[in-house]
């Protein structure tokens, strides 16, 4: 029996224990939680039981990363402004605008 585990700095633990690993599977293949009881994904003590729950949680995690990246871009923008780097400032402003557009259009999961 194969197992795959990813433990991050936070309280997120992905635990997948298929009975047999299919050699055709890649990292981009979706996990069908509804079709098999051999896949288990946990966040802390909470077990994600459906594909819809997994999609929602991954969306929230991706949105959090986008917002963190936005904060980094804000710091870069401030540094560029204080140093007088006009080209970098313009790039940071354009990137910040693009990130805001993505965040505003992000599905709410409803």
Q: Are 33 and 39 in contact (CB under 8 A)?
A: yes
Average pLDDT of every residue of the chain:
75
85-94: pLDDT as tens digits: 999 999 999 9
Question: Distance (Å, rounded) from C-alpha 97 to C-alpha 102?
Answer: 9
Taking the mean position of all CA atoms in its chain, how far away is CA 6? Answer: 14
pLDDT of 44 higher than 80: yes
Question: Can you give the pLDDT at residue 32?
Answer: 58
Q: Are 33 and 50 in contact (CB under 8 A)?
A: yes
Residues found in the chain? 110
Question: Can you give the pLDDT at residue 36?
Answer: 54
Which 3 state secondary structure label does DSSP give 40? strand
Question: Distance (Å, rounded) from C-alpha 72 to C-alpha 23?
Answer: 39
Which 3 state secondary structure label does DSSP give 36? coil
Question: Can you give the pLDDT at residue 107?
Answer: 82
16-42: pLDDT as tens digits: 444 444 444 445 555 555 555 556 788
CA distances from 82 to 14, 31, 69, 105, 110 (A): 43, 47, 20, 31, 41
73-108: pLDDT as tens digits: 999 999 999 999 999 999 999 999 999 999 999 886
E strand or H helix at 39: strand 39-43
pLDDT of 15 higher than 80: no
């Amino acid at each position: 029996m194969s197992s795959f585990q990813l433990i991050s700095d936070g309280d997120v633990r992905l635990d997948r224990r298929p009975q047999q690993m299919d050699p055709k599977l890649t990292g981009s293949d979706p996990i069908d939680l509804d079709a098999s009881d051999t896949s288990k994904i946990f966040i802390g003590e909470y077990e994600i039981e459906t594909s819809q729950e997994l999609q929602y949680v991954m969306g929230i995690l991706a949105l959090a990363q986008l917002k963190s990246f936005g904060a980094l871009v804000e710091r870069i923008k401030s540094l560029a402004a204080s140093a007088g780097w006009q080209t970098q400032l313009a790039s940071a402003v354009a990137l910040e605008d693009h990130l805001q557009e993505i965040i505003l259009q992000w599905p709410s999961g409803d």
